[in-house]
Structure 1
Amino acid sequence: MNIINKLTLRHLKKNKRRTLVTIIGVIISVAMVMAVATLGVSFLDLFKRQSIADSGEWHVQYKNVTSNQIKTIEEDGNTEKLILSSDMGYALLEGDEISDKPYLFFKGYNEEGLEQFPIKLTSGRLPEAANEVVVSDHIAKDTGINYEIGAEMAVDIGNRMLEGEPDALLQNDTVQRDEEGFLEDLDIHSTETFTVVGTIERPSWEEPWAPGYTVINYIDQENLNKAVNVDAVVVVKDLTRSIFKQAEQLAQQNDIVGVGFNEELLRYYGISDNDNLHTTMYSLAGIIIAVIVIGSVSLIYNAFAISVSERARHLGMLSSVGATKKQKRNSVFFEGAVIGLISIPIGVLAGLGGIAITFMFINTYIAGALATSVKLEVVVTPLSVLVACLISSTTIFISTYLPARKASKVSAIDAIRQTQDIKLTGKAVKTSKLVRKIFGLEAEIGLKNVKRNKKRYYATLFSLVISIILFLTVSFFTANLSTSVEMSQEGIDFDILVSDSSGDISGLESLVQLEGVTEHSLHKSVQLTSLIDEEMFPPLLVERIKKENWALQEGKHPYYINLYGLSESSFQEYAERVGTDPANYQDPNNPKAIIINTISYHDYEASKFVETESIQTKPGDKLELLFTDYDTNENTTLSDLEIGALTDELLMGIRTATLGGLDVIVPMETFDSILNDGAANQVQSYLYLNSSDPMEMQETLEEVVPSSMYIYNAVQSRERDQQMIMFLSVFTYGFIALISLISIANIFNTISTGISLRKREFAMLKSVGMTPKGFNKMINYESIFYGVNSLLIGLPISIGVMYLLHRSVNVTFEYGFSLPWLDILFVITAIFVIVSSAMLYSTSKIRKENIIDGLKQENI
C-alpha cells in the first residue's frame, strides 16, 4: 500500500463520525437495491409457482396428434417430459338432468400428466389403466350422487352441440337452455365402462360455472383410442425465446395441425414475445432503484465532497512534495473503494435479511391480498446479487468522480492558503435590507452563509424535498386505497349473498334455516319503468332536467323502478320496521307497495354525497308500472300500483336508487302476479344473510348450494381489501422509511460537517463581539431558511403528484380531491425538527471552543 493510501485510511479513522454516517448511508442504499432486486425475483417465482399450482407445469402443447407424431415429439432433442392429454367429451350425469351442470366431463392423462398437472387425490388412488377413473368429490357435495370406489359406471361420451346446428360445437360454454329445457344435444362418439378407483378435489381448471364435473382417466400410449383426440404436452429442456420457433418448425415438419403454449408460465420465466408483465416489473424496479440511487448519490457525493474540502490543505501539501494529479484523484477513489468494501457485503446481507423478515410478516396477508395458494419465498439469484453490487459500485463511483476530479486539480498554493472554495462576488451574497430590519444582523449573516455555500445548501435542500415528496405521495396513495375500499364496501350491511339467476327462490328458502343464520332477507328483483308526472319531481331532479335539457314525454319523465318482491317472513319484518301493517299489502288484485322515498347517492360533479327525496308523493297515489322489451323497444303496461307507505328504511343488501329512480317493495305474491312473461325472464333472486361465523357459513353454503348459484362473502371481500392495503403499506412505508433514513443521514452529514468547517468563521464572529444569544439566533434563522425553502419547493411538487394519483384512481372511484392536511402538518413539523436537530447537534460541539483555537483551525 502506498503512502497516499495510508494517509487516506488515517484520514478516515480520524473523521470517524463522518465515515460512519457515509458507511451507514451506503449500507442502506445497497440493502434497498438488493431488496428491490430480490423482491422482483421472488414475486416472479411466486407467480411461477402459482401458475404451476393452477394449470400444471408444461410449456408446449401439440394438438390432435397421432401415434407417429407422438413418437417424433418424444424423440425431439428439446423434449424433457412428454404428457398425453385428452378431452374425451361429456356424458350425462344420471339423476341431475335439470341443473346447470348436468354433465360429467371426461379428461385423460398418461402417467406423466397425472404427476405434472395439479390433481389432488382425496381418497383411493390415481388410475393406472384405461378403464379406471377418479371422480371429483364435488359431484357428491353438489348433487348427492355418490360414486363409491370400486363402482362401475357405463357412460355414453360425446361432444356438446347446439340443438339443430350440427356444426356448432360447444366447448366449455355454460349450459344452453331456456324455460322449456335444453338447447343443446350430445353427439355420442363412444360408449365406455369405467371403474372408479379414487376421488379428487375439484381441479383448478374446472370453473364453478363449468357445464360438467371432472372425471379423469388414464391414457395408455400403446393403445390409443383413435376416436378420441389426443394432445401432446411437452416440458422442454432449454427454456429460451427460440422455443416458439422450434415448436412451430416441429409441427410444420410433422403435419401437426395446431401448437399452443403455456403463455402465462412462460411469461413468468421471461419468455414471451409481448412481455408486458416483465416490462412493468422492470420499469417499476428501475424507477425505485433510480430514486434510491439519486438519494444515495446525494448522500455519498456530499460525504466525499466534504472529505475533499476537509483534506484540501493536506492534498496541497502532498502536491508540494511531488504528488501527481493521478495520485490525488486515486486517493479519493481509494476512499470510495474502502467504504464500498465495508458497506456492500453488509448491505447485501441486510437487504436479504430485511426482505426475509418482511416476507414472514406479509405471508399472513398475501393469500387474501393476491388470491394465491402459495407463499412468498426469498429467492436469491447470482444475477440479483451481481446487479445489486454493480449498481452500488456505480453509485459510489458516480459519487466520488467529481470530488476526485476536484482533488486532482487542487494546487499547492491555493490548498495551503485555502482560497479555492471562496470565489464569490458581493452580488452573489447580497441580501434584502428587510432581512436585517425584521430579523436582525445575525439573520442576515446566516442568510449570507447559505448563499456563500450554495452547493452544500442545494444538497441539503434536495434531500429535504425528496423526503417531503416521498412521504406525502406514499401517504396519499395509501389513504386513497383506503377510501376506494370504503366506497366499494359502502352500504353493504350483510355478510353473505347467495343469488340465483333463474329467479326461483325455492332453492334459497331452505338456506335461511341453516345453523348460524342470525338475520336474513329473501327477495326477487327486476327493473321496470314508470312515467312520473312533472309535479311529483323533487327539486334536484327539476334542476337536473333543466341543466341537461332533457325532453319530457307529455309532462312526464321515465323513472327506472327497482321492484323487489319479499318472501312472507322478510316482508312482514320489513313492514314492521317501516311502521305499516303488512296485512294491507296481501291482496294481489289490489296491489300496494312500500316506496323508499329518501335516496342517498354520490354526486360526482359536486364531489359530495347527496340525500334527497326520490319523488314527491303520498300514500294512496298510484304508479303505472311498465316493462320495456329492449329487443323491440316496446313498453307494456303491467299494473297500477298503489303507494301504501313511504319510508327511508332500506332493505338488507340494497342501496338506494339515484336521482330519477325508485325502490318499490311488494310481497312475493304481488310481485309474481304483476309480471308478464318478458319481465319474468329478467327476474333475479337474492338471499342476504348475516351470520355468527361468516367463514364457517360460507363453507356450509358451498357444500349445499348447487354450482348454478353464486355465493359472495362480503366479510371476506372486506378482509381481502384490507389485506391488500396492509400488503402494499408494508412495502410503501418500508420504502419511504429507508429513503428517509438516507435523506436524514445526508442532512445530518451535510449540516454537521458544514458547521464543523465553519469553526474559523464562528470564532471570528465571536472575536468581534457576537454573543451566544446572537449566535443561536443566526443558527436558528439558517434552520428556518432551510425548512421554509424545502417546504416551498416540496409541497407544490407533492400536491401535483398527489393530484395525478387522484386522477388515476378517479377512473374507477370518483370522489373529490382533498389534501391530507394532517400528513402535511406532520411533514412541516418533521422538517423543522430534523433541520433544527442537525443544527443543534453540530453547534453543540463548537460552542465552548476557544476563540484562538478556532482561528488557528486546520482541516487536516
Structure 2
Amino acid sequence: MKILQEYTWDAIRRNKKSSAAIMVAIYLMTTMMSCLCGFFYTMWTDNIQMTKRESGNWHGELFDATYGRELEQIENFESVSEVMIKGPWQVLKVSDEEKRPYLITRGADQEYWDSMAEQYSIIEGSVPEKAGEIALSKQYFSSHPEVKIGDTLTLPSGERRNGTEKIDANVARVDGETFFQTGTETYKVVGKLDVVSESVVPGYIGIHYLDRKTIKPDDQITVYLRFQNIRETYRELPKIAAALGWEKDEYGEYNLRYNTDLLIKYGVISENQRSMLAEGSMGVFISMAGVMMALVVALFVLVIHNAFALSANERLSQLGIFSGIGASPRQIRKSILFEGFLLSVIPVPLGIFSGWGLDSLAMSLINEVNQSDRVANPVVLTFGLPAILPALILALLTVWLSARIPAKKIAKLMPVEAIFAAADSLKVRRRKRKPLYAVLFGTEGELAANAIDARRKSYRTATSALVISFLLLFGFQYIVTVQEAAAKIYEFDSEKFWHVQVWFQDGKLPSPEVTERLDAVEGVKHSLYYNGLACATWQEEDKASEETEKYMGGFEKIASSGKYSTFERDGKYRIAATVIGMDDENFRSYCEAQGIDPEPYFSDPELAVFYNQTEDPFHGTRKRPILREFLELQEGEEILFTEKNVDGIDGDHEFSLKVGAVAEQLPPLEMEPSHFTLIAVAPLSHVFAQAEQCSETRRSSGTRVKGYYLTDDTDGISYQTISRVADEIEEIMEETYGLGDYDMTDSATKRNLNEESSRVMNLIVGFLSGMLAVIGIANVWASITGNLCQRKREFAMLRSVGLTPKQLRKMLWLEGIFLGLRPLLFSLPFQAVFLGVYLHFQEVSLIEYLPYAPYGLVIGYTALILLTVSGAYIVGERKIQKESIMEGVKDDTF
C-alpha cells in the first residue's frame, strides 16, 4: 500500500494539469457549497432574530388564569428551561382628565425584560432593572411634558369601581366609574416606550420592574415559558395545563398560546400544521426544494467525477500492472480515493473561505438595499460552524463519491483488462454516414456529429451534468415565478375598496362633523364607514339548506371534520356569524344594488339583510370556488344571535334579527368570510348599539369603526394623490382624535413597502440564480475540457489526413453547438414535468403563468451555456493547433 501511496504522490506531481483540473473543480464546488450553506444559515438566523425582536423569545404561554401560588409548580417542571412573568395589573391615578385619568401598569420580571419584545420598544432611556423603576408610554410624556426620564413619581394607587363593584384595570371605560384609593406607589421613570393605547381604555400604559419575591399567592399573573427542548413544546405545555387542573374548551383544547412564528422557524410544527402542510402547496414547495438540493449535489458529483475519471483513465495501465504484481482491488480503490483526499487538502479550506467572502458581499448588498425599510439591525453574516460543517461534510462527501465511482469501476478490472482497456479507451466507435449533417453543415458537421456519437459513453457524464445544470437554474426560477404568479392571481386587491383606510378606535361612532371633514378632503371620490360584530347562532340540523345537506353532508359532517368553527352540543350546532354595520348612504346603495328597499331597515333595528352563501370546501378549489346556499332562511323569520361565539367569551348578550331580504352579493368591503359563516348587514348605528351592550372583549372589537376612502382613479391610480390625501386625513385625525385613538394606512405606503421587499427578494433570487449559473458554467467547462483532453490523438489523426485548421475549428464549433443543444432538449421533458407539477399544486394554469415565465433568463442562460461550450472548444482547439501532429499521435493528453 505504501508503494501505491508513493505512486499516487508521483502521479499527482507528474500530471499537474489533470491534478490542477481536479483541484479547481473541488475549489469551485466547495466555494459554492460554502456560500450556499452560509447564505441560508444567515437568512435563517436573521429570520429568527427578527421574530424574537417582534414577538419575543418564548415558546408557549399559559393563557388562562394563572396564580402566584402555582408558580413554584410550573418552575419545577423538568422540561421547563425559563419562566417569564408579568405580574398583576395596577391602577394609578394621574389626573382628572376625561380621556386618560389613570396610569395602568404591570410588572415584568428580569427574565421577561431580557427575552421579550418590549425591550426593543424603549426609544429613550433604559429598561427597568430593579424594583421601583418604570417605563412609560410616549403618550404619557406627550400629555405630561413636565415629566422627564429620571424623575420620580408618587401617585395614588387603587381600583376602578362601578359603584361598589371592582372593574378590571385594563377594560374599557364604564360610564359613572370612580377611583377608589388603597395606597400610594413611588416609581422612578427610566424609559420611554414606543407604544400607544386607545382612549376607550382610560389610561396610559406603563411597565415596571417585578421582583418575583413580591408575588402573592392570589396574584393573577401571565406566564411565558421556554422549554429545555423546543421540539417538546406542543407536548409539554398541555401537560402543565393538565397538572394545574385546567379544563379543556369545547374543542378539547386548553387555553394556551404558542409562539408559532418562532417555533416553525425551528422546524417545530403542531399536528394541525403538519396536516395543513401535507394537504397544501407548502409540502410540494418543500419537496421541490429538496429535489433542487439533491440536484446540486448530483451536479457536483458529476463535475468532479469527470475530472477523477480522466485522471484514473490516464493511470489505467499502470494500475493494471500494480494489480498484476499483487495489489488488491481494495488497495487500488484506496489509491484513487487517497488521490481525492490529497487533492482536497488545499481547495476545500480555500473554497470555504471564498464562500465566506461571497456571502459577505451578498449581505452588504442586501443591507444597502434594505436599509430604508428594515427596523431591526442590519443582517449580520453568521458564518459559524453550523454553516462550515455542512459545507465541509458535503464537500468531502462529494469528493468521496466522485472518486469512488471510477475507483470502484477500475478496481473490478482484471490486470490484463486494465492494461488493454487503457489502449481501448483511445479507440472510438466506427463512424456511420450522416448525410443530413453533411448536407446542412458540410464534412465538418458530419465529423462533429460522428465524434459525439462515437464517444457517446464518454460524453454521457458531460451531457448528464449539462442536463442537471439546466434543471437546477430553470427549476429554481420556476419555483420563484410560479409563487409570484400565484400571489398575483389570488391576491386580494384592496385597491378596489380603499386607497386610504382609517380605524376609529375611541369606542364611539365617528361624529358627522368629522366624517364630513374627511369626505371633503380634496381628492376623495368616495368614502364608506362600517363595523363588524362577531357572534354566533345556534341551529338544529334541519336548518341546513338542501345544498348544505346534499353537497356538504349537513351540519353533522361539517362539525365532525374538526376543521371549521361549526360546533355541536346537545343536538344543536353553533354557527359562526358576523353582523356588519354600514353607514346610511352606503347601506342604501348596497340594498338598491341588490334590488332591496332600504327604508324599512332604518326604522326597524331588528331588521337586516342576510347573505346566505358559503364556499364549499369539499368540492371547490381556490381557483374555482363553489358557493352553496347555507341555511334554510325565510323572509320575516327571526334568527337569535349570541356574542358567545366561543365558550371563552365572558358575556352572554343575545339579540334577534329578522330576515328582511337575502342578498346575492357581499357588501363592497375588503373581507373574505370564513367557511360556514352567516353574514347579516344592517345600518351602522343599529349594529354599533348592539356591540355596546356586549361584554368587554366583544365590545372592544365591535365598536371599532373602519373608514374607506377612494381617490379618483378614472385615469389610473395616482399614488402621489393618495399620499397627499392620506397626509391631509392624518392631520384631521390627529387634530380631532389624537395619538392612540386612530390608526391608518394607505395603498401608496403599502406599495412602497412591497417594492422595498421586492427589491430585497429580487437581490436574493438574483444572487442564488447567479450561484447556480456559475455552478452550471463551471460544470460545462470542466466537462468539455476533460473530454477534449482524451482526444488529442484523434485530432492529430484527422490533421494528418488533410483536415485544415479552418475545418478543424468549424468541426469543433459545430460539435460544441450540438453538444450544448442536446442537453437542453433532453432536459425539456423534465422541466415540463417539474413545472407542471408545481403549477398544478399552486392552482395556476399555463396561460396564467406565461406572463410571469422567466423568458429572458431561459434564453440568456441557454445562450451563455452555448457560449461556454463553444469557448471551451475554442480554447481546446487553440491548444490542438499549437502542437505538432507527431506529439498528438504519441501522447493523448494535454
TM-score range, shorter chain: 0.5 to 0.7
Indicate which of 831, 837, 847 corresponds to 2:865: 831
The 2-side partners of 1:752 and 1:131 are apart by: 75
Question: Which residue of the partner structure matches residue 137 of structure 2?
Answer: 136
Indicate which of 786, 789, 807 corresponds to 1:774: 807
The amino acid of 1:42's aligned partner reads: T
**How far 1:359 moved relative to its partner?**
1.9
Are positions 1:684 and 2:707 aligned together? Answer: yes
Q: Report if aligned partners of 2:160, 2:168 keep a CA contact under 8 Å in 1.
A: no
The 2-side partners of 1:207 and 1:814 are apart by: 49
Indicate which of 721, 731, 734 corresponds to 2:767: 734
Indicate which of 391, 395, 398 corresponds to 1:392: 395
Deviations 1:721-780 (A, max 9, x none): 233333233333322323332322222222223223222222222333333343334323
Question: Which residue of the partner structure matches residue 467 of structure 2?
Answer: 465
Provide the secondary structure at the position in 1 that maps to 2:764.
Answer: helix
- Larger deviation: 457-466 or 676-685? 676-685
- Tell me how many residue pairs correspond in the alignment: 708
Question: Which residue of the partner structure matches residue 673 of structure 2?
Answer: none
Q: Report if aligned partners of 2:89, 2:105 keep a CA contact under 8 Å in 1.
A: yes
Question: Which residue of the partner structure matches residue 353 of structure 1?
Answer: 357
TM, length-normalised to structure 1: 0.67
Q: 1:452 to 1:739 in 2, by over 3 A?
A: same
**How far 1:476 moved relative to its partner?**
5.8
The amino acid of 1:296's aligned partner reads: F
Are positions 1:408 and 2:411 aligned together? Answer: yes
Question: Which residue of the partner structure matches residue 436 of structure 2?
Answer: 434
Q: Report if aligned partners of 2:466, 2:779 keep a CA contact under 8 Å in 1.
A: no
Question: Which residue of the partner structure matches residue 698 of structure 2?
Answer: none
Write the mapping of 1:355-374 to structure 2, written as runs, cut at 5 A: 355-366=359-370, 373-374=376-377
Question: Which residue of the partner structure matches residue 337 of structure 2?
Answer: 333
Question: Which residue of the partner structure matches residue 3 of structure 2?
Answer: 3
Q: 1:706 to 1:834 in 2, by over 3 A?
A: same
**How far 1:137 moved relative to its partner?**
1.4
The 2-side partners of 1:147 and 1:510 are apart by: 34
The 2-side partners of 1:187 and 1:827 are apart by: 74
The amino acid of 2:358's aligned partner reads: G
Write the mapping of 1:204-223 to structure 2, written as runs, cut at 5 A: 213-223=204-214
Question: Which residue of the partner structure matches residue 221 of structure 2?
Answer: 230
Q: 1:155 to 1:695 in 2, by over 3 A?
A: farther
Q: 1:200 to 1:373 in 2, by over 3 A?
A: same
**How far 1:425 moved relative to its partner?**
7.0
The 2-side partners of 1:200 and 1:122 are apart by: 8
Provide the secondary structure at the position in 1 that maps to 2:871.
Answer: helix
The 2-side partners of 1:210 and 1:425 are apart by: 88
Provide the secondary structure at the position in 1 that maps to 2:220.
Answer: coil
Q: 1:273 to 1:309 in 2, by over 3 A?
A: same
Question: Which residue of the partner structure matches residue 455 of structure 1?
Answer: 457
The 1-side partners of 2:10 and 2:847 are apart by: 62
Question: Which residue of the partner structure matches residue 86 of structure 1?
Answer: 87
Q: 1:797 to 1:353 in 2, by over 3 A?
A: same
Provide the secondary structure at the position in 2 that maps to 1:846.
Answer: helix
Indicate which of 802, 808, 823 corresponds to 1:790: 823
Q: 1:51 to 1:107 in 2, by over 3 A?
A: farther
Uncovered stretches (5+) of structure 2, i.e. residues with no partner: 248-253, 531-581, 587-622, 624-638, 640-655, 670-682, 690-704, 712-718
Are positions 1:309 and 2:313 aligned together? Answer: yes
Q: 1:633 to 1:839 in 2, by over 3 A?
A: farther
Q: Report if aligned partners of 1:313, 1:859 keep a CA contact under 8 Å in 2.
A: no
Deviations 1:81-124 (A, max 9, x none): 654422527799977867xx998653222455445442444567
**How far 1:344 moved relative to its partner?**
1.9
Q: 1:53 to 1:831 in 2, by over 3 A?
A: closer
Q: 1:7 to 1:185 in 2, by over 3 A?
A: farther
Q: Report if aligned partners of 2:499, 2:709 keep a CA contact under 8 Å in 1.
A: no
The 2-side partners of 1:480 and 1:767 are apart by: 55
Provide the secondary structure at the position in 2 that maps to 1:230.
Answer: strand
Are positions 1:854 and 2:888 aligned together? Answer: yes
- Larger deviation: 783-792 or 413-422? 413-422
Deviations 1:685-739 (A, max 9, x none): 5386848998996998697654343322544433332333332333333223233
Are positions 1:25 and 2:25 aligned together? Answer: yes
The 2-side partners of 1:301 and 1:102 are apart by: 77
Are positions 1:377 and 2:418 aligned together? Answer: no
**How far 1:268 moved relative to its partner?**
4.7
Provide the secondary structure at the position in 1 that maps to 2:346.
Answer: helix
Q: Report if aligned partners of 1:104, 1:212 keep a CA contact under 8 Å in 2.
A: yes
The 1-side partners of 2:836 and 2:380 are apart by: 36
**How far 1:73 moved relative to its partner?**
5.1
- Larger deviation: 477-486 or 195-204? 477-486
TM, length-normalised to structure 2: 0.65
Q: 1:477 to 1:410 in 2, by over 3 A?
A: closer
Provide the secondary structure at the position in 1 that maps to 2:881.
Answer: coil
**How far 1:48 moved relative to its partner?**
3.5
Q: 1:320 to 1:473 in 2, by over 3 A?
A: closer
Say what the alpha-carbon RMSD is for the aligned residues: 5.4
Q: 1:382 to 1:152 in 2, by over 3 A?
A: same
Q: 1:217 to 1:783 in 2, by over 3 A?
A: closer
The 1-side partners of 2:389 and 2:110 are apart by: 41
The amino acid of 1:752's aligned partner reads: T
Write the mapping of 1:57-76 to structure 2, written as runs, cut at 5 A: 57-59=57-59, 68-71=69-72
**How far 1:404 moved relative to its partner?**
0.4
The amino acid of 2:465's aligned partner reads: S
**How far 1:337 moved relative to its partner?**
0.8
- Larger deviation: 11-20 or 355-364? 11-20
Provide the secondary structure at the position in 1 that maps to 2:502.
Answer: strand
Q: Report if aligned partners of 2:792, 2:880 keep a CA contact under 8 Å in 1.
A: yes
Are positions 1:198 and 2:189 aligned together? Answer: yes
Q: Report if aligned partners of 2:340, 2:399 keep a CA contact under 8 Å in 1.
A: yes
Are positions 1:712 and 2:745 aligned together? Answer: yes
Are positions 1:499 and 2:502 aligned together? Answer: yes
Are positions 1:54 and 2:84 aligned together? Answer: no
**How far 1:825 moved relative to its partner?**
3.3
Q: Report if aligned partners of 1:694, 1:713 keep a CA contact under 8 Å in 2.
A: no
Question: Which residue of the partner structure matches residue 795 of structure 2?
Answer: 762
The 2-side partners of 1:342 and 1:797 are apart by: 37
The 2-side partners of 1:698 and 1:332 are apart by: 76
Q: 1:197 to 1:247 in 2, by over 3 A?
A: same
The amino acid of 2:293's aligned partner reads: I
Question: Which residue of the partner structure matches residue 106 of structure 1?
Answer: 105
Q: Report if aligned partners of 1:133, 1:194 keep a CA contact under 8 Å in 2.
A: no
The 1-side partners of 2:740 and 2:361 are apart by: 41
The 1-side partners of 2:826 and 2:584 are apart by: 56
Indicate which of 259, 275, 294 corresponds to 1:290: 294
The amino acid of 1:70's aligned partner reads: L
**How far 1:403 moved relative to its partner?**
0.5
Provide the secondary structure at the position in 1 that maps to 2:105.
Answer: strand
Write the mapping of 1:558-597 to structure 2, written as runs, cut at 5 A: none
The amino acid of 1:405's aligned partner reads: K
- Larger deviation: 7-16 or 333-342? 7-16
**How far 1:781 moved relative to its partner?**
2.7
Q: 1:703 to 1:40 in 2, by over 3 A?
A: farther
Uncovered stretches (5+) of structure 1, i.e. residues with no partner: 176-181, 528-561, 567-606, 608-628, 638-653, 656-674
Write the mapping of 1:498-537 to structure 2, written as runs, cut at 5 A: 498-500=501-503, 504=511, 506-507=513-514, 520-521=523-524, 523-525=526-528
**How far 1:26 moved relative to its partner?**
2.0
Question: Which residue of the partner structure matches residue 724 of structure 1?
Answer: 757
Deviations 1:651-671 (A, max 9, x none): xxx99xxxxxxxxxxxxxxxx
Question: Which residue of the partner structure matches residue 551 of structure 1?
Answer: none
